[in-house]
Amino acid sequence: MGSSEKIVKRKLSDDVLDRLMQLINSGRFAPGDTFPSERELMEQFGVGRPAVREAMQSLQSAGLISIQQGQRPRVTVPTAVDMFSQIDLAARHILNSSPGSLEHLKDARLLFEVGMVRRAAENLADQDADHMRAALDKQKRYYEVEPDKFVEADMEFHIAIAEATKNPILVATCRALLDWLKQFHTNIVRLDGKEPVTMGEHERIFERIVARDPDGAAYAMTDHLNRSRGTFRNRNEAG
């Protein structure tokens, strides 16, 4: 007898979730609209309260509806930031427990930020340059006295580059990558004294962006990230 695919029995809540998603995607319920009550949905779909409640919780977890005590659920507009927040805990767990995942994250960041800086150089506006300049000035101000603020300004510089792309998904991705990498930061600002090196690399990146030179900006970013790869390391490697 030939092989066959097993029939997987779906839960009622999955069917309810599909129907609710259709209502949202079709525009029947637009952002800001209130959803029917649990009882109304039970009657409409002919299912019990547990199936409706589980489907609604799935929508809330996905950022598609907002549920507040004593009020009907309301349709919301999920953002790219919401999307990454849904996977944040899982991503942190993988990075802490899976061998090699940190190196994979560093590679992903290199590929991502080199492309990102090219787009920033192409789309730069005066306001974007001002934000980058402010982050660089903050680094200079704090690198000898407050290492944590130096690192904070470092992240702000990279986020300002992302914002210059005018692409909210790139901005959210950049924030997520930096937040995930930050947990591996082991006070290297005091350990290796590379603050002036970092600032010099940032200045070169900034100069190429302001010159609207995508290739030059990409080369400068590649040099910077390749040199700084040792900044982040697994916790069990520290000390």
pLDDT tens for each residue of 203-216: 999 999 999 999 99
Distance CA 112, CA 1 (A): 49
What domains lie within the chain, and their CATH numbers?
Answer: 12-75 (1.10.10.10), 81-237 (1.20.120.530)
* Mean pLDDT across 120-149: 92
Distance CA 52, CA 20 (A): 10
45-85 pLDDT, tens digit per residue, is 999 999 999 999 888 887 888 888 878 888 887 777 777 77
Radius of gyration, CA atoms only, the chain: 23
% of the chain at pLDDT higher than 70: 87
Distance CA 221, CA 227 (A): 10
User: Which one, of 187, 186, 199, lies nearest residue 227 by Cα?
Assistant: 199
* Mean pLDDT across 167-180: 92
176-195 pLDDT, tens digit per residue, is 999 888 876 544 434 456 78
pLDDT higher than threshold 60 for residue 21: yes
What pLDDT score was predicted for residue 208? 97
Among 3-12, 73-82, 89-98, 151-160, the least confident range: 3-12
Q: Which class for 189: exposed (0-12), middle (13-18), buried (19 or more C-beta within 10 A)? A: buried
pLDDT level of residue 12 (50, 70, 90 thresholds): confident
pLDDT level of residue 2 (50, 70, 90 thresholds): low
- Residue 119 identity (one-letter amino acid): R
Mean pLDDT of the chain: 85
What pLDDT score was predicted for residue 50? 92
Name 210's Cβ contacts closer than 8 Å, sequence gap at least 6: 124, 129
The label of the residue with tokens 């940032």 reads 202
